[in-house]
Structure 1
Amino acid sequence: MSKRVRSREVCADCSAPEPRWASVNRGVLICDECCSIHRGLGRHSSQVRHLTHSPWPSSQLQMVQTLYGNGANSIWEHSLLDPSSSVSGKRKANPQDRVHPNKTEFIKAKYQMLAYVHRMPCREDDSVTAKDLSKQLHSSVRTGNLETCLRLLSLGAQANFFHPEKGNTPLHIAAKAGQMLQAELLAVYGADPGALDSSGKTPIDYARQAGHQELAERLVEIQYELTDRLTFYLCGRRPDHRNGQHFIIPQMADSLDLSEFAKAAKKKLQSLSNHQFEELAMDVYDEVDRRETDAVWLATQNHSTLVTDTTVVPFLPVNPEYSSTRNQGRQKLARFSAHEFATLVIDILTDAKRRQWGNSCESPKGTIYSRHNSESQDNDQPDYDSVASDEDPVQEATCGDSCNDRRTKSSDLSDGPITVQEFMEVKSALTASEAKIQQLLKVNCHLSEELRSMQSKLNSLQTENTTLRWQTPSGQQHLQAPFGRHPPRGGRALSITEAPLSPPPVSDAVEPGEEGEEDATLPCTEDVICKTEQITKNIQELLRAAQETKHESFLPCSEKICVAVKEMAALFPKRPSSETVRGSLCLLTSSASRLHGECQKAAEHNPCPSDIQLVTQQVIQCAYDIAKAAKQLVTVTTKENNN
């Protein structure tokens, strides 16, 4: 494959035109469908960002674009470029392939299994090979050849390798040479901007001494990437590292009224060892990334079609390098409400600052506290921002308005003259607030369009179900039952008015691990259509509540949907032999569970408009998936019963 920049950008995984996402650590651009698979792999495999809707450091975006333009994708598809690969049956995915299983299997093989990467010759001592690769990386970063360094990193070179003869790391060399993009690449792969050379100097020192001030400032930002990202998530601001301000700790509006439970949790957090605290902070960082990317994902998807194979990521994917206990804890972070999660983030920021001031500790990538303390904290800079409570009308806008709030110092603007800088900050914050309000209004209009479209699709599905019912041969149910067709299980179906207040877990309807033989029988088409109509009717009721902003109705509607879903799932065998039926039942029940969870979020708290906007969009996505699964079950049942 030529390494020339292509005149037309295409997805690195399936060649779809105009990719809108990037995988930062892989150096490739990808389309929406492939991005949905990348997100499911987890950040340890692929770190995705939207090219226009996600916040990017300009040099990091330039690094990814340079890698993509210079053919970095050939690193991950090395063996596919061999003409003999087509003979062996290996092939790249294409835009027409289904997301599941075609694209999913290809992307997992490409990035998780590294099935197509060039393999080094086997040697008895793998550590020697890794050391040789790291030495090559150490010498290569002084040049601008990014794809060479990415290839070495893909083969096992260590970004934090300490050269025994040179007495420094690859990042020291890149900083001294002024190689901004190489520094960005090394940082993505875990290089530490605070690492010390044999003389006690950091890469930041190297960059400054060589006159690369912009690179030095960027390395400081990378050093505080974790805490900066958490702060930006809450109030849309980052510390001014250039002037010595390394932490901004937002403050919840109701933080002064701490419960005993909250106080105990804060004390437990403070008692963690530095290593345990770093692990927790990095897990929270990953959860922030998941929530922010979910918001971008939902805002950029076209929800005008009922059937969609791509969904949001409901919790952090499993990282095989972590223990099962840690992975379970990471996934539980998704259950935190916006208020609970913001409280945890603030506690971590507060303790990170306390730990840095208490001692100077080394930590891995995603540095929590600076280990380069030659720059003292400027005490004139405000440490605290105000974060709106759940009762405030527009949380993020209020955060911006109060970014210059000096209440933490028990002072007031009227106590002294307002400086020009303070005036400009307030003016800038007001402008940002107005822009945010306008953005929310636009999103609300977009959501209304989505709801109307969903309503139309559901009406169409209802009409289609009615047509299928009339096409079903008369008396089919009674004729087929004696020959093994399953009647509705559990006696008569529950009516809507008889639905329990708290629905039984819908996941119990399908038990893949249950012992017993697979069952090829299917219920009669008329029963399936009847239950589909019931599900559709309940979804329509939920969408009307969303359209009329009656969020208190979300939970009762979701409970009715869960009951209807369980009744429909009960029509089918416990272990269907059809893979399509199993997949559709799994999608049906899991989407209903997710829907109920999202509706509970709206009922348990009083979220701000931006949060309820996200919940509503996720409710719509779940409704799409439920309707899609129901339609698939109707189609399969009709086809099988007519054969």
Structure 2
Amino acid sequence: MSKRLRSSEVCADCSAQDPCWASVNRGILICDECCSVHRSLGRHISQVRHLKHTPWPPTLLQMVETLYNNGANSIWEHSLLDPASVMSGRRKANPQDKVHPNKAEFIRAKYQMLAFVHRLPCREDDSVTAKDLSKQLHSSVRTGNLETCLRLLSLGAQANFFHPEKGNTPLHVAAKAGQILQAELLAVYGADPGTQDSSGKTPVDYARQGGHHELAERLIEIQYELTDRLAFYLCGRKPDHKNGQHFIIPQMADRRLLDLSELAKAAKKKLQSLSNHLFEELAMDVYDEVDRRETDAVWLATQNHSTLVTETTLVPFLPVNPEYSSTRNQGRQKLARFNAHEFATLVIDILSDAKRRQQGNPVTSCKENVELILKAINSQHSSESQDNDQPDYDSVASDEDTDLDANAAKANRQKSLDSDVSDGPVTAQEYMQVKNALVASEVKIQQLMKVNINLSDELRTMQKKASKLEKQNSMPESDYDNPSPSLELDETGPGRKGRQRSIIWQGEGSIPENSDTDATPSSTLPSTEDVIRKTEQITKNIQELLRAAQENKHDSYIPCSERIHVAVTEMAALFPKKPKSELVRTSLRLLTSSAYRLQSECKKTLPIETCPTTDIQLVTQQVIQCAYDIAKAAKQLVTITTKENNN
């Protein structure tokens, strides 16, 4: 850290004293409560890091502190500084406000909706405006005025803008001028250090030619940030870029610990067959998941668990990024379901293939594949001097792990950094460090029974909409009566639940398919009031299930899931057998399949008394995921019917 925090520093969103988190791309410092909201928005909105317990590149932290100290927050609260805002009743949150809904609504308006930023005059051609802003950015980065550049970026300037007359990008200009903090800011907003100018030179070349060697080395680190972060997640080490080593790919020293199963081989082959574009997307998604898991571990290590409440807790899976397709968002969320060794295997495969693709090597044989299928501790040789009482690699972390000592973790990482950083096999000691690091990252599973922030947000939104619609919508109730609970499900639709069916339901609880293939597609929809009433019933039952999860009442899972299933069936019966709308079919598919999957997951709690090895924490995680999917689908149906009936 470049300096100790001053006591005068306050949260940018609620003015609470001594903020201990930073939003890197917003250039602000925030408190624990506001950070929990930032995390629920996703990294595309706010990239959060803990000021003390997260490793920081020194110049990146310096960049954030410089922005904060020079009033970057005024960029995001521009209109609130206008005296007219006080007259209109608009105000920012304060420390005494509740996280939900007060702080959460303010933070969403501030960063997601950009409700308070300075608006440019409307012009017919927005691309011209963006081009003008980008040219201003291109010129501004040669100076040390970070807040000016952040303001331009907030208005739509492009960090990778290629100046047609100058023949280079803003990052080239910053590198030539030796402006390392500007380079950090541009990189946060997506500037590529590998971009070539019209003469084929990169920003790294510019920095070296200008004698800015520290900046050149930092630009190389930024270029390999993704793979460096993945390697550090696994073994606490980073490549030695100064000496030309750009990748670390951990291997098991004892190949007998490897599990080169047919499934592992098939997954590896599929990964290698991806196009570069799809591979890059997958790698970025895994990077985001690593960030989520690591930040969860830091969060748990820094919170007072005796007072931990559900509204300021973990983020159970990656939030939706509206710029991505629904298929990609669903895939991103499914990364949270990977246990530690499955996720480690995926990370290793990505590191291995990233190195192969950059070096232009052909696909390697299965014998040469780098696999990391870590097994239980008792798989080790009896001669290893490790504590045999430590939990298995794939087990859920113990309660003691929840109070992870940050200094011990730092010491372990430093010890790992001092070890050999070659690409060769790791030692048994390093293997245990990998194991322990990933077990610590799974501490979140212990807390998943308290996690429902995203689901709670969805439920609150639905309840508000329901209340508003009941007051405003004067439409008469529909005469449409469809007593049949059967539902036409589009097999060719994009619903991910249908594709997972063979894996999730094994022998019981399949989704009912409508046998009436001759049914005429109908555009008739039920009344908004009916859909809202059923949604409220579903919401009430989901809340009961979540309370049971929070109170460890696992025997209540099955009756709660049955009540949810009944409410879902009644809601599905409101709609035609064969809805004409693709959106309606997709939402109904998600609604009903999630309800069946919820029942299936809840039944796994039955043998707990006779089979104590049942992983109830993992079951609870899946139950919460199913409940979220049901709430999301119900909300979609409310939105669709409201829109259609009001047209």
Specify if TM > 0.5. yes
Q: 1:16: which partner in 2?
A: 16
Q: 2:420: which partner in 1?
A: 404
Are the counterparts in 2 of residues 171 and 191 from structure 1 also a CA contact under 8 Å? yes
Distance 1:513 1:280 in 2: 39
Task: From the superposition, tell whether residues 407 and 90 of structure 1 become closer, same or farther in structure 2 (CA, over 3 Å).
Answer: closer
1:35-46 aligned at under 5 Å gives the runs: 35-46=35-46
Task: From the superposition, tell whether residues 196 and 515 of structure 1 become closer, same or farther in structure 2 (CA, over 3 Å).
Answer: same
Q: 2:319: which partner in 1?
A: 317
Q: 1:297: which partner in 2?
A: 299
| SS across alignment from 1:304 | helix
Choose the corresponding residue for 2:557, options 557, 562, 571: 562
Distance 1:304 1:191 in 2: 43
Distance 2:567 2:225 in 1: 51
Are the counterparts in 2 of residues 504 and 563 from structure 1 also a CA contact under 8 Å? no
1:215 has 2:230 as partner: no
The offset of 1:311, in angstroms, is 2.3
Which AA in structure 2 matches 1:115?
A
Q: 1:391: which partner in 2?
A: 377
Choose the corresponding residue for 1:346, options 348, 363, 367: 348
Which AA in structure 2 matches 1:206?
Y
Tell me how large the CA RMSD over aligned residues is.
5.2
Distance 2:236 2:48 in 1: 20
Task: From the superposition, tell whether residues 263 and 333 of structure 1 become closer, same or farther in structure 2 (CA, over 3 Å).
Answer: same
Are the counterparts in 2 of residues 386 and 403 from structure 1 also a CA contact under 8 Å? no
Cα distance per residue 1:397-455 (max 9 Å; x no partner):
6994996398958xx99xxxxxxxxxxxx99x79x969x89x98xx99xx99x9xxx9x
Q: 2:333: which partner in 1?
A: 331
Q: 1:264: which partner in 2?
A: 266
The offset of 1:255, in angstroms, is 6.7
Which AA in structure 2 matches 1:270?
Q
| SS across alignment from 2:49 | strand
Distance 1:173 1:70 in 2: 22
| SS across alignment from 1:250 | coil
Q: 1:162: which partner in 2?
A: 162
**Unaligned 5+ residue runs, structure 2?**
363-368, 379-389, 394-408, 451-506, 511-526, 538-543, 572-593, 609-614, 628-647
Task: From the superposition, tell whether residues 256 and 7 of structure 1 become closer, same or farther in structure 2 (CA, over 3 Å).
Answer: closer
Q: 2:240: which partner in 1?
A: 240
Task: From the superposition, tell whether residues 186 and 307 of structure 1 become closer, same or farther in structure 2 (CA, over 3 Å).
Answer: closer
Once the two structures are aligned, what percentage of the paired residues are identical? 67
Task: From the superposition, tell whether residues 406 and 307 of structure 1 become closer, same or farther in structure 2 (CA, over 3 Å).
Answer: closer
| SS across alignment from 2:245 | coil
Distance 1:130 1:164 in 2: 14
Cα distance per residue 1:179-213 (max 9 Å; x no partner):
11111000000001111111111110111111111
Distance 1:503 1:93 in 2: 49
Task: From the superposition, tell whether residues 244 and 71 of structure 1 become closer, same or farther in structure 2 (CA, over 3 Å).
Answer: same
Are the counterparts in 2 of residues 562 and 593 from structure 1 also a CA contact under 8 Å? no
* TM norm structure 1: 0.64
1:186-585 aligned at under 5 Å gives the runs: 186-252=186-252, 256-305=258-307, 307-358=309-360, 389-391=375-377, 393=390, 400=416, 404=420, 408=424, 515=530, 518=533, 558=554, 560-563=555-558, 565-566=560-561
Aligned pair count? 485
Are the counterparts in 2 of residues 250 and 387 from structure 1 also a CA contact under 8 Å? no
Cα distance per residue 1:203-241 (max 9 Å; x no partner):
101111111111110100000000001111111111000
Q: 1:180: which partner in 2?
A: 180
Distance 2:286 2:160 in 1: 24
The offset of 1:539, in angstroms, is 7.3
Cα distance per residue 1:252-283 (max 9 Å; x no partner):
56674311122111111111111111111111
The offset of 1:93, in angstroms, is 1.1
Distance 2:529 2:156 in 1: 42
Task: From the superposition, tell whether residues 243 and 89 of structure 1 become closer, same or farther in structure 2 (CA, over 3 Å).
Answer: same
Task: From the superposition, tell whether residues 153 and 401 of structure 1 become closer, same or farther in structure 2 (CA, over 3 Å).
Answer: closer
Are the counterparts in 1 of residues 161 and 169 from structure 2 also a CA contact under 8 Å? yes
Are the counterparts in 2 of residues 386 and 405 from structure 1 also a CA contact under 8 Å? no
1:114-129 aligned at under 5 Å gives the runs: 114-129=114-129
1:84 has 2:84 as partner: yes
The offset of 1:15, in angstroms, is 1.0
| SS across alignment from 2:311 | coil
| SS across alignment from 2:13 | coil
Are the counterparts in 1 of residues 23 and 46 from structure 2 also a CA contact under 8 Å? yes
The offset of 1:337, in angstroms, is 1.1
Task: From the superposition, tell whether residues 517 and 195 of structure 1 become closer, same or farther in structure 2 (CA, over 3 Å).
Answer: closer
Which AA in structure 1 matches 2:112?
Q
Are the counterparts in 1 of residues 21 and 30 from structure 2 also a CA contact under 8 Å? yes
Are the counterparts in 2 of residues 535 and 561 from structure 1 also a CA contact under 8 Å? no
The offset of 1:89, in angstroms, is 2.4
Distance 2:119 2:62 in 1: 28
| SS across alignment from 1:117 | coil
The offset of 1:44, in angstroms, is 0.6
Rg larger for: 1
Distance 1:121 1:433 in 2: 56
Task: From the superposition, tell whether residues 564 and 227 of structure 1 become closer, same or farther in structure 2 (CA, over 3 Å).
Answer: same
Are the counterparts in 2 of residues 319 and 327 from structure 1 also a CA contact under 8 Å? yes
Which AA in structure 1 matches 2:294?
E
| SS across alignment from 1:342 | helix
Which AA in structure 2 matches 1:327?
N
| SS across alignment from 1:29 | strand
Task: From the superposition, tell whether residues 74 and 504 of structure 1 become closer, same or farther in structure 2 (CA, over 3 Å).
Answer: farther
Which AA in structure 2 matches 1:323?
S
Task: From the superposition, tell whether residues 265 and 514 of structure 1 become closer, same or farther in structure 2 (CA, over 3 Å).
Answer: farther
Which AA in structure 2 matches 1:324?
S
| SS across alignment from 2:250 | strand
The offset of 1:306, in angstroms, is 6.5
Distance 1:45 1:328 in 2: 18
Distance 1:168 1:193 in 2: 12
Distance 1:155 1:120 in 2: 8
Cα distance per residue 1:151-178 (max 9 Å; x no partner):
0000011101111121111111111111
